[in-house]
Structure 1
């Protein structure tokens, strides 16, 4: 397969105190059968050994690039800096504790290339904090429109690939009290774009045990704020969308508990 003609993939990875997992995350990118990629890791003022581990990986692979921020800006700001530095045709998102299957990029880029899609996502599996895969797999609908997205936060960030030649230079909203990735998908789809799902399990999402109940309520508040600030929904619409979100979120939380 001619990966060069299909285009480079810029992998967007924010990192903050990620020493426990970052090496495995990088290795999952290095293992990709699709080899035309760059991995842009933005360290958000880590206080552990993250930077040293990333720099060690840089020495063995010139496709890995590190940006060290001078002040802590949060994951959305870190991702935005990586996006600004990216020169690939495609943007792919992978957080510093998650992993990809070796054929993830090859299958997804071919899926987009053959169909002319600008936004795609895949199914993914939950893994425990220690790295053991669970039985929980989130399968995806074949497509999601803007109206679908308002009632469903199913898209996993670690599975998303965007064609920035078609969409332009996107940026995540910098509201700390919003869901920044969901806000970006909302912004893109609000312009008539449809996101398409490759319903194949190609990624592993690490579920950490720290403050699970607290994170659930924090996520709910962020989703509400995203409707109001990014989607600019009025109060009745926000309540309707949030009720739909809540039902799906409870089902999702029950599966992963």
Structure 2
């Protein structure tokens, strides 16, 4: 009987909330499973989908076992879903990816290498908007925030989208994961709280994360709610950290 090789221990956990993303979730899953590192697991939390996402996720999980698992919850929103995924994550490094976005094949390898080389707690990269209605599709590499007034830059705007960073699990645990007080902007809230906890960040100046826009749907009442939630996040951070 042929001996099977031992599974590679998980170092990176990717947490993905999914709500009615059937047209896109296969691409998102495959971009994680196709990463150039073999020590990556994917935890997808189905957030009460009513389309074909649930069945598709189970088909994909069977194809990628044991590196992919699917969890389910009633519709609660993306941040409770991410917190649920975090509770099941086995890696010491954490990435987040939405079910309609994707990463370059070497994204996690390069971000993890940057963390190892610098002993930073957060590694981040550039990104590009894609899809119909994207407000500009020019690839964007953010500044080296560590060389700037980081607090001022972070308070000006969310420094990077949720899938353009890799974070040490210990740092996320230290700040308690995602707040669930708002339906949006809680990724921005997490980056601010992580900055208050650790100033050890490192940039990988390459575009490796891709954010999908969906026509005019994002320029709507929901978009204005996101703006208001982001303003609340800034206000709450300044109130909690007046010395910053």
User: Could you say whether these structures have the same fold, taking a TM-score greater than 0.5 normalized by the shorter chain as the test?
Assistant: yes
User: Which position in structure 1 is the counterpart of 2:211?
Assistant: 205
Q: Distance in 2 between matches of 1:204 and 1:120?
A: 16
Across the aligned residues of Structure 1 and Structure 2, the Cα RMSD in angstroms comes to 2.3
Q: Is the 8 A contact 1:178 1:225 kept in 2?
A: no
Q: Distance in 2 between matches of 1:232 and 1:72?
A: 31
Report the Cα offset of residue 76 of structure 1. 0.5
Q: Is the 8 A contact 1:143 1:194 kept in 2?
A: no
User: Which position in structure 1 is the counterpart of 2:179?
Assistant: 173
Q: Is the 8 A contact 1:146 1:192 kept in 2?
A: no
Written as runs of structure 1 = structure 2, the 5 A alignment for 1:59-74 is: 59-62=62-65, 63-69=67-73, 71-74=74-77
Q: Is the 8 A contact 2:171 2:194 kept in 1?
A: no
User: Which position in structure 1 is the counterpart of 2:193?
Assistant: 187
Report the Cα offset of residue 154 of structure 1. 2.8
Written as runs of structure 1 = structure 2, the 5 A alignment for 1:105-124 is: 105-124=108-127
Is residue 2:168 matched to residue 1:163? yes
Q: Distance in 2 between matches of 1:80 and 1:217?
A: 25
The partner residue of 2:225 within 210, 215, 218 is 218
Q: Distance in 1 between matches of 2:53 and 2:26?
A: 9
Q: Distance in 1 between matches of 2:61 and 2:132?
A: 25
Q: Distance in 2 between matches of 1:230 and 1:173?
A: 12
Structure 1: 5+ residue stretches without partners: 238-257
Structure 2: 5+ residue stretches without partners: 1-7
Report the Cα offset of residue 175 of structure 1. 1.4
Q: Is the 8 A contact 2:122 2:200 kept in 1?
A: yes
Q: Is the 8 A contact 1:227 1:233 kept in 2?
A: no
Q: Is the 8 A contact 1:178 1:226 kept in 2?
A: no
Q: Is the 8 A contact 1:17 1:48 kept in 2?
A: yes
Q: Is the 8 A contact 1:9 1:92 kept in 2?
A: yes
User: Which position in structure 1 is the counterpart of 2:5?
Assistant: none
The partner residue of 2:138 within 126, 130, 136 is 136
Q: Distance in 2 between matches of 1:204 and 1:229?
A: 29
The partner residue of 1:38 within 38, 41, 61 is 41
Deviation per residue, 1:58-101 (Å, 9 max, x gap): 111111111111x2111000001101111101000110000011
The structure 1 segments of at least 4 consecutive aligned residues displaced by more than 6 Å after TM superposition are: none
